[in-house]
Chains A and B, each alone.
Chain A
């Protein structure tokens, strides 16, 4: 396929690179990896999230190994095996992997509709499971996963990684829970991007048959996020992170949702909205206004996504993630006329737009632990993470498995975030205000 004398460019470079790298560097390099007790991960779903975000960060954890990889797309599998390192076994069918490899835990990072069957099968095979968010396509699927988990008696953790973010812990502990914001009656959040969200199907896969896995075509598999029967679109893939944060910060769950959205710009055959605007109502009367766009990425706080908690005494803004996953920042804006507290005079400040803001400084306190590490030690004053949230959530998963503890983002939390994300889509479709009924979560 290539023009460098029949050798792919990657291969060509690899050939040159091999001449410079030593075979291995001896005992000094080996020891650091070998001292920590091993934890053997199997990875099902080796796309961007599975391979890059989760496997990449799992490999930063001392002792963690990737012993098996599974993907129905051959190129994904091959890349994952290359990255996993020597000895990792590759599978197309997850049943074979679950039935033949000794593992300490399974990571599931596959298209949304496949989570339920894979997670249930993993529990039936007796493995603890780390499942990417959004937990599942429907509440019924989530419940089936939880029933299988209870039967197996294993850990289920869901990848809402903002629950492992030091800035968010600090915002909750030092601002929201202490009442610094007063009564929070409104929350605004957005995750806006500018682009079609559509991925190219590699020529080599275009004609491949994925029907036995439930995908009508390679195109449908590659772009599963864009099809309603496979995905909740913007709400499950992006919005579920932020509805989860809103529920966590407010300590409440919505009791109704109203929403609008549509396929208004990218009329390219997709069946999920390319824009959504959602209002969740909380029992306290607080409204959560959520937006996700694909046609504008202005992001007034420097990132694609932010959350604004608007209280009677002040406003807290958390801006994070994309495009830089290690970079995040928080500001607190005091309402006019509100008496300042002593600590505020000493805090670092800057001007944001027309306003003066106090910069959230995670390092002022050690804070409660995330994955056993005081949150104040996990980030520097400028908002740079010292460990990625993906690594922290996987560290907690390992500890939870070893010590049989419930992880801080377990399946019950995941189910609720998934349900609220999907209900917003229902509200868009039905053009209605949909009340939530707690009974739907009964197992």
Chain B
């Protein structure tokens, strides 16, 4: 059974396999989509009613109580920020706006605008009180945008939900950028075979990976970029310099949690091949594919994993 809906700014797709009848699977899918919508309504920074918007309005001086799931998500975001030395940062919103990526109208900002925005970015200004499950911003102007981690979180939550209902074979994905492969399809016990397309749905397929109880997430600037004075500016920003990343075009991360993969794929795109190799050497659970602009073409770095050949690929329904 395959179902698609619009959500999270792209398409949310569920493929459910199981020994249940189709009406039951359909009910499960419906409820899963309801959960997706509920989570989207909570996590989006683009609706005033969301909990994240609430936090952004009230986090300074704060404190604000935070729903347990969201609190943990923010904790993961803070942990990835620490472990990647600031390459991943959910407070990057003012920089995104400053470069015009917010409205998909990229432009090079003035030095002054850039400095002003940089002053409003930094996960170190977000304090999380684990005892009271509360948050506060330690300076005004800080805001949270979960665009680089939220899709993975929603995928994880739906995976948990399906497992809770006894579903052990499913594929859960948002727009191809965050995927969780639960178990394996009945016809292919080795796992779910997925095309790796750093450019997103419809983009060029670099190869195939087989995933069983693993998640995969991709961040790339193939779709969102602009060219000014002959230079290409992609939408992945390095929170530390305040500037778009150059060189890396996309990063794909494979791991156990879609939340972590979503965050890490963004971090790896910022860190580049050398930084990513350093991270992977000290953390045991990630496999990474990095696509780097290399002269006129692209170079693919496979770190801790390898893709299968194109011939083995077949679309799974």
Contacts and interface: CB of A to CB of B under 8 A. Distances in A.
A153 interface: no
Contacts of A198: 27, 30-31
B21 interface: no
A25 B136 contact: yes
Contact of A326 (B31, B48, B127, B165): B48
Nearest to A203: B166
B71 A384 contact: no
Interface in B72-89: 72-79, 81-82
Contact of A17 (B28, B64, B75): B75
Contacts of B49: 324-327, 384-385
B292 interface: no
A5 B213 CA distance: 10
A4 B256 CA distance: 6
Interface residues of A, number: 49
Contacts of A2: 160, 163
Nearest to B28: A200
A14 B133 CA distance: 12
B182 A17 contact: no
B73 A17 contact: yes
Interface string B124-151: 0001111111101000000000000000
Q: Which secondary structure characterizes the binding site on chain B?
A: helix
Contacts, number: 146
A203 B163 CA distance: 9
Contact of A23 (B131, B156, B159): B131
Given A2-B163, A9-B257, A202-B164, A17 B48 contact: no
A83 B164 contact: no
A202 B73 CA distance: 23
Nearest to B167: A203
Given A24-B132, A200-B27, A16 B127 contact: no
Contacts of A30: 132
Given A21-B130, A384-B48, A5 B75 contact: no
A203 B164 contact: yes
A83 B130 contact: no
A18 B130 contact: yes
A32 interface: yes
A17 B79 contact: yes
A86 interface: yes
B210 to A, nearest CB: 15
Nearest to B162: A200
B156 A9 contact: yes
Given A1-B163, A9-B156, A202-B165, A17 B72 contact: yes
A24 B130 contact: yes
A9 B159 contact: yes
B278 interface: no
Given A1-B164, A29-B132, A56-B67, A327 B47 contact: yes
Contacts of A21: 71, 75, 78, 128-130
Contact of B82 (A20, A23, A327): A20
A442 interface: no
Interface in A172-200: 195-196, 198-200
A350 interface: no
Interface string B160-197: 10011110000000000000001100000000000000
A323 interface: yes
27 contacts: A2-B160, A2-B163, A4-B256, A4-B257, A8-B160, A9-B157, A9-B159, A10-B156, A17-B128, A18-B130, A20-B128, A21-B75, A21-B129, A21-B130, A24-B129, A59-B65, A60-B64, A60-B65, A82-B68, A83-B133, A85-B132, A195-B30, A196-B27, A198-B31, A200-B27, A325-B49, A384-B48
| Closest 7 pairs between A and B when the two form their complex, measured CB to CB | A17-B75, A326-B49, A21-B130, A20-B78, A21-B128, A24-B131, A3-B213
Given A33-B63, A200-B27, 20 more contacts: A9-B157, A9-B159, A16-B75, A16-B260, A17-B72, A17-B73, A20-B79, A21-B71, A21-B129, A23-B129, A23-B130, A25-B63, A25-B129, A25-B134, A29-B127, A29-B129, A60-B65, A85-B65, A198-B27, A203-B165
